[in-house]
Amino acid sequence: MNKVFKVGLIGCGHISETYFRAEKYFNNIKIVKCADINHNNALKCAKIYKIQALSVRDLLKDKEVEIILNLTIPKVHYQVAKQALLNNKHVYSEKPLAINFKDGKDLLKIAKKKKLYIGNAPDTFLGGGIQKSKELVDKKIIGKIKLGNAIFAFPGVQSYHPNPEPWFSKKEGGPVIDMGPYYLTALVNLLGPAKKVTGSIVNGVKRRTIGIGPRKNKTFKVECSTTYLSTITFENGTIIRLTLSFDVIAHQRNHIELYGDKGSMIVPDPNMFGGSVYICKKLGDPWKEYKTNKMPLGKINIRTQSSRANESPTNANYRGAGLAEMAYSIEKKKINKCNGELSLHVLDIIQSTMKACKTNKTQLIKTSCKKPKPFTLKEIKKILN
């Protein structure tokens, strides 16, 4: 029987409900206390989930808490994670690791010195969709992958979020920081580490209108670039064209497509856990579907619409898998899959992409990482209820 790790939550916003739900799926995590810079949010969360609300300072120092779950806004991920480590606690953060590479590097240095674990979202690559894609890539079903396309493009969060300004702010805003982690983590998982990146930017509408909530119809200023068109070269020689945009009303392209010398692959949404993989090996042939809806982390588990905009009764969402896998890794003294090395490499690609696109100059990726190993059925069963 696994040890159940006591988790302290910092940041009681919308995403927190998903992590509380994770306790139903995984057998080794329990959120016991919570905190938020707005203490009323913590009190509300504590009442709903019948846990204790503390100040952020008190939670960081609480001796019962073993892991800090950092669900704060991106610009304070570094600050909160650093304080967790300095208070001798393991930390698992929402994406990204930090909003600049220097801070991310500092977190790994502190964790290594204190022999503590860092875990970081996204953990969606542990789900059925990307793991099935990985299995097929590793078996060379489509041969050597030479190139591919990836895209995230929609109008922006202002239509469905009552406080969308952080997504458009100068330092933490833009689609590369927001959605890049999902696509880049999935690509590193499938192809291995990246080597260099080039690109350009397109600036969209400079004022946006809030679509819901008490501030509906209020406009706000966009302070960041909102479309990035990049080309990433991986260490294995694969070249991927990646589009990340908050300026596209609609499109019909697949999330990720990989092209090998023996066929082509459609990879499902890297922002979710499930979805089918499709393979075509000959011009004119129908696409062969590889379903994931019977895989433990691919089954549809969202039966009703939740307050999360990307959750509907057609989705598999097991966010928290990375936290549970890290807890298991701590107990067994092994390297966790959503580890700091991987997260720092993804942050390096994020920062390099933004710089390459803004300067029109090729950026070399400063870091590397080990290509993640498959998340096996045996490993998954160890942490499932």
pLDDT at 215: 95
Q: Could you tell me if 203 and 225 are in contact, meaning their C-beta atoms sit under 8 angstroms apart?
A: yes
How far is the C-alpha of 15 from the C-alpha of 168, rounded, in Å? 19
- Summarize the confidence of residues 17-33 as an average pLDDT: 96
Say whether 165 sits in a helix, a strand or coil. Answer: helix
Residues 6 or more apart whose Cβ sits within 8 Å of residue 356: 197, 198, 199, 230, 362, 363
pLDDT at 21: 93
Alpha-carbon separation of residue 29 from 117, 229, 277, 379, 385 (angstroms):
15, 39, 31, 16, 11
Residues 6 or more apart whose Cβ sits within 8 Å of residue 223: 168, 169, 170, 173
- Summarize the confidence of residues 13-33 as an average pLDDT: 95
Q: Which residue has the higher pLDDT, 303 or 201?
A: 201
Above 60 in pLDDT, residue 309? no
Q: Which two tokens stand for residue 39?
A: 């203490």
Give, in degrees to the nearest 5, the angle at Cα 226 between 225 and 227.
105
pLDDT at 303: 66
Spell out the domains of the chain, with CATH numbers in brackets.
128-297+340-364 (3.30.360.10)
- Summarize the confidence of residues 208-224 as an average pLDDT: 95
Q: Tell me the pLDDT band of 209, cut-offs 50, 70 and 90.
A: very high
Above 60 in pLDDT, residue 149? yes
Above 60 in pLDDT, residue 306? no
219-224 contacts, C-beta under 8 A, 24 or more apart: 220/158, 220/164, 220/165, 220/168, 221/168, 222/168, 222/173, 223/168, 223/169, 223/170, 223/173, 224/168, 224/169, 224/170, 224/173, 224/174
Above 80 in pLDDT, residue 221? yes
| Averaged pLDDT of the chain | 95
Residues 6 or more apart whose Cβ sits within 8 Å of residue 271: 122, 124, 152, 179, 182, 310
Q: Tell me the pLDDT band of 302, cut-offs 50, 70 and 90.
A: confident
How far is the C-alpha of 355 from the C-alpha of 336, rounded, in Å? 30
Beta bridge partners of residue 35, listed in sequence order: 10
- Kindly state the helix (H) or strand (E) to which residue 264 belongs, with its residue range: strand 263-267
Q: Which residue has the higher pLDDT, 306 or 160?
A: 160
Above 90 in pLDDT, residue 301? no
- Summarize the confidence of residues 360-384 as an average pLDDT: 97
How many other CB atoms are found less than 10 A from the CB of residue 113? Answer: 9
How far is the C-alpha of 51 from the C-alpha of 53, rounded, in Å? 7
Give, in degrees to the nearest 5, the angle at Cα 64 between 61 and 65.
70
Give the model confidence (pLDDT) of 87-143 as tens digits: 999 999 999 999 999 999 999 999 999 999 999 999 999 999 999 999 999 999 999
pTM assigned to the model? 0.95
Q: Tell me the pLDDT band of 338, cut-offs 50, 70 and 90.
A: very high
pLDDT at 308: 45
pLDDT at 121: 97
Strands 118-120 and 90-93: parallel
How far is the C-alpha of 17 from the C-alpha of 69, rounded, in Å? 13
Q: Could you tell me if 255 and 152 are in contact, meaning their C-beta atoms sit under 8 angstroms apart?
A: yes
Give the model confidence (pLDDT) of 56-100 as tens digits: 999 999 999 999 999 999 999 999 999 999 999 999 999 999 999
Q: Which two tokens stand for residue 253?
A: 């392209």
Length of the chain: 385
Above 50 in pLDDT, residue 255? yes
Say whether 51 sits in a helix, a strand or coil. Answer: coil
pLDDT at 280: 98
CB environment 304-320: b (16+ within 10 A), e (fewer): eebeeeebeeebbbbbb
CB environment 255-290: b (16+ within 10 A), e (fewer): bbbbbbeebbbbbbbbbbbbbbbbbeeeeeeeeeeb
pLDDT at 315: 78
pLDDT at 310: 46
- Kindly state the helix (H) or strand (E) to which residue 359 belongs, with its residue range: helix 340-359
